[in-house]
Amino acid sequence: MARFASVVPQQTIKRGSQPWILRGKKCMTDQKKQSRQSLGTPTVRGFSLIELVVAVLVALVLSAIAIPSIVTAYSQYRLGTQATLIASHLDLLRFNAVRKNTLLTLYFTTVGANTVIYIDSNKNGALDPSDPQIMLPTDILLIGGGTGVPPDMPDSGSMGTPYATVIPIPATGISFNANGTVNYPGASKPYLIVLTFASGSKYGYRAVTVTPMGEVRVWTADAGGNWSATS
């Protein structure tokens, strides 16, 4: 049987007619347009005036709520810090009296508008630069000898035994003997040192007590409340 080869007629491509090249150019053009659009600056929507006003109002309300609490906490912290410093100086006074085997005194004096509490290390009865000392801020009031007791200051009876009867800070200072006990010029009762703000007792009171045996404690109380020991 004879086989016949199929003859496919050849298509003549006209000169200058290249449709696949045109299609390729069109694709490249579309890609360039898309690239330019993607690289363009994106549109970002800002806050409206109403949104800004609402945000400011919310911030003001939160500040009005938080600021009083922060001021109260900071003021109470300041009172507590000063009371702790006084207690530390009393412990240092007792330690030095025992270590040096001599009587030493903690004095309270005024320098300008500040109350200064110092240990008379060289026993000359005067404040020297080398003496361990504390300078109270001008807005903190030391309640003791010669200072009127505020009517809303808690009574020492709420401290329990043996603080039902206490002695205010004597003008002669607080002295420790060489054996670590308190040297009293008169009757032996616990000393009571009270701190509050000169502007009022809004932030409460802090106190430091010293028993005849030399035990030093720090106390806290709200105005008109009861004392509670913190150390």
Round to whole Å and give the CA distance between 73 and 66. Answer: 11
Write the CA distances from 159 to 80, 154, 164, 174, integer angstroms: 17, 9, 7, 21
pLDDT score, position 208: 95
pLDDT score, position 97: 96
pLDDT score, position 197: 93
Which residue in the block uniquely carries the two structure tokens 């009296």? 97
Could you tell me if 107 and 117 are in contact, meaning their C-beta atoms sit under 8 angstroms apart? yes
Could you tell me if 220 and 227 are in contact, meaning their C-beta atoms sit under 8 angstroms apart? yes
Write the CA distances from 183 to 90, 105, 106, 177, 194, integer angstroms: 13, 9, 11, 6, 20
pLDDT score, position 22: 46
Which residue in the block uniquely carries the two structure tokens 């579309």? 30
User: The whole model's pTM is what?
Assistant: 0.73
pLDDT score, position 104: 96
Architecture of domain 62-103+139-229: 3-Layer(bab) Sandwich (3.55)
pLDDT score, position 23: 52
* Token representation of residue 189: 């009762």
Per-residue pLDDT for the chain (231 aa), expressed as one digit of tens each? 444 444 444 444 454 545 544 455 555 555 555 555 555 555 666 778 888 888 888 888 888 888 888 999 999 999 999 999 999 999 999 999 999 999 999 999 999 889 999 999 999 989 999 999 999 999 999 986 555 678 888 888 899 888 988 888 888 899 999 999 999 877 688 999 999 998 888 899 999 999 999 999 999 998 888 999 998
Round to whole Å and give the CA distance between 128 and 109. Answer: 12
pLDDT score, position 145: 52
C-alpha 49 chain-centroid distance: 37
* Token representation of residue 178: 């060489």
pLDDT score, position 55: 87
pLDDT score, position 66: 84
- Angle (CA) 164 156 222, round 5°: 155
Could you tell me if 121 and 104 are in contact, meaning their C-beta atoms sit under 8 angstroms apart? yes
pLDDT score, position 62: 84
Structural domain boundaries of the chain? 62-103+139-229
